[in-house]
Structure 1
Amino acid sequence: MRRRKKEKHEEELNESWLLPYSDLMTLLLALFIVLFSISSVDAEKFQALSKVFNEIFTGGTGVMDYDSLEQKNEKQLSDNSKNKKEEKGAEKQHQEEKKLENIQEKINHFITAKGLGNDLQTSLTSEGLLVTIKDSVLFDSGDATVRKKDVSLAKEISELLVIDPPHSVIISGHTDNVPIQNSHYSSNWELSVMRAVNFMKIILENDKLDPRLFSAKGFGEFQPIASNNSNAGKAKNRRVEVLILPNSDEASE
């Protein structure tokens, strides 16, 4: 009886190895399944993921480093957006410059047709399109009233300012440095302002123009474009300027 019990006990012990063997086989099967699933993952994505984990676990890049990387990426996106806006703004500015060039060509054609090349000139400046008119074309010496014979010219100039879309216009008066000596105006400043205002009044008789876009200034003798040491220089300084501004509303859209 004792020997039979012993043999039975030994058989039970000998079969005990089956349980861990079964567990081992289960683990191996799970490992092969994982390896198979990994092998089907996109190689580039797997390498990228592997690199990230490798950097994290080897101390190359930590969580804080990835926060900094994220901030850097956000800054780069912001810079790219800013650059695109600047490029768009530059493109609109270029388009507006082309429009002003077309307006200049139209005015130059008018000047040539009227034989006014010595009295009217145009130039593109950093501020906009500038039309310079000699004072002798519109006014008597020392006077700010547009001569009756030149009112028709002023009205023709007003037609040139009918632009689509409308642009803001600044009309300014300028004199030489010879002090004014009459009972109507106490200074060159006053004379220059009134010349700009009176010329603008005639311009705005054109109901196709919006008065809200027009303004008048007087600079007296303080913005000369030539030396006042000669009569020719003084004649250049006595002038009315019409500045057509770029359409800033369009440029800022």
Structure 2
Amino acid sequence: MSRKRHEPHEEHADESWLLPYSDLMTLLLALFIVLYAASAVNTSKFEEMSRAFKTAFNSGISILDKGSITEDDMLKRRTAEDLNRMDDGKKSKTREALKQQEQQNLEKLKKDLDKYIQKNGLSTQLETQLNQSQLLITIRDNALFSSGSATVKPDSQKLATAIGNMLQQYPDYEILVTGHTDNQPISTTEFPSNWELSSKRAINFMKILLQNPAFDPQRFSAIGYGEFRPLESNTTDAGRATNRRVEVSILRNYVEPTSDSNDITLSAIANEGKKEE
């Protein structure tokens, strides 16, 4: 029997590598296209994008929220910023002018008070002092009250009225009236301690000032410090006499920071919640 002879099949080469190779070529082509596009970027578009980012970061506005920013938008914002700077400059100049006017007002008021003191021979009972926070009028207690009393003497009420008449020319200032005593204890039915005595003296003097209808009571306040704000030592009669006093403070509206914490505190109390006009 004859056997059939089969011819061997031709073996084909493995071409599976062509698929990843073609993918690789595609990726390389895409890479070169991207590199070319990056090298040929539109300079004007790039600068516009740069300005857009700068404006967004400076103004706190997200470009994702606002979309693309045009040159008109940036021009408007720059104009607004310039106007704000101009407004700040005007406010600064206005504030400086108001400070100068306030200084002139307080200097004139001090001059008028000093003239009144000199004319009426009150130099040993009254004195004035102008500092960075206030115009301070100091009145010795013997000019106003009898010992241990908070009732203003009838003759001294004229003094309070005269001071009020001079103050009424400047109604836009905060007025703080403070009472002070020496360290000698007091214990009566009306005044259990120097706190009550000093507070009542300040209030009674303030009430006489407020009899002037030109004043706004909202701008007035009274505080009693007792013996705890002495000017001199309480170990001598002269020192105790100096410490017994009523002080009237005309507080500045425009105060620069100082190292005097008391002045800053007084100004902060007086101007809390008040808007600058």
Structure 2 length-normalised TM: 0.62
2: CA distance, partners of 1:58 / 1:213: 61
Matches of 1:139 and 1:205, distance apart in 2: 19
1:57 to 43, 56, 59: 43
Q: Residue 169 of structure 1: CA displacement?
A: 1.5
Paired position in structure 2 for 1:252: 276
- Measure how far apart 1:126 and its partner are: 3.1
Aligned length: 197
Corresponding residue number in structure 1 for 2:25 = none
Q: How does 1:24-43 map to 2 (within 5 A)?
A: none
Q: CA deviation at 1:132?
A: 0.7
1:184 corresponds to which letter in structure 2?
E
Q: CA deviation at 1:175?
A: 1.0
Kindly indicate whether the alpha-carbon contact (under 8 Å) linking 2:194 and 2:226 is maintained by their aligned counterparts in 1.
yes
1:220-239 matched pairs, under 5 angstroms:
220-239=226-245
For the residues of structure 2 that align with 1:153 and 1:84, how far apart are their CA atoms?
A: 42
Deviation of 1:183 (Å): 3.5
Q: Is residue 93–residue 251 contact of structure 1 (8 Å, CA) maintained in 2?
A: no
Query: Higher relative CO (CA 8 A, sep ≥ 6), structure 1 or 2?
Result: 1
Distance 1:156 1:182, change over 3 A: same
Greater helix percent: which structure?
Answer: 1
Matched AA of 1:194: K
What is the 5 A alignment of 1:56-135? 57=43, 62-67=47-52, 68=54, 71=58, 78-135=84-141
Moved more, 174-183 or 235-244: 174-183
CA distance in 1 between partners of 2:87 and 2:50 (Å): 24
Given that 1:172 and 1:240 are in contact with CA atoms closer than 8 Å, whether structure 2 keeps it comes out as yes
Q: Quick check: 2:139–2:246 contact (8 Å CA) kept in 1?
A: yes
**RMSD, matched Cα:** 2.9
| Alignment match, 1:160 | 166
2:49, 2:242 → 1: CA distance? 69
Matching of residue 219 in structure 1 with residue 221 in structure 2? no
Instruction: Measure the CA separation in 1 of the matches of 2:210 and 2:114.
Output: 21
Amino acid at match of 1:124: L
Amino acid at match of 1:114: N
In 2: Cα distance, 1:198 partner to 1:69 partner: 61
**Structure 1 length-normalised TM:** 0.67
| TM-superposition CA deviations, 1:66-109 (whole Å, max 9, x none) | 23268485666644543432332122122112111111111111
Distance 2:81 2:235 in 1: 58
2:172, 2:51 → 1: CA distance?
A: 52
| Aligned mate of 1:176, from 162, 171, 182 | 182
Give the superposition deviation at 1:194. Answer: 0.5
Give a deviation string over 1:2-32, Cα, whole Å, max 9, x none: xxxxxxxxxxxxxxxxxxxxxxxxxxxxxxx
Q: Structure 2: give runs of 5+ residues left out of the alignment.
A: 1-41, 60-77, 255-270
Structure 1: which 5+ residue stretches go unaligned? 1-55
Contact residue 182 and residue 241 of structure 2 kept, 8 A: yes
Within-5 A mapping of 1:134-149: 134-149=140-155
Identity %: 40
- Over residues 128-152 of structure 1, what are the superposed CA-to-partner deviations in whole Å (9 max), with x where a residue is unaligned? 2111101111111211111223222
**SS of the residue 1:62 aligns to:** helix
Match of 2:265 in 1: none
Are the counterparts in 2 of residues 174 and 218 from structure 1 also a CA contact under 8 Å?
Answer: yes
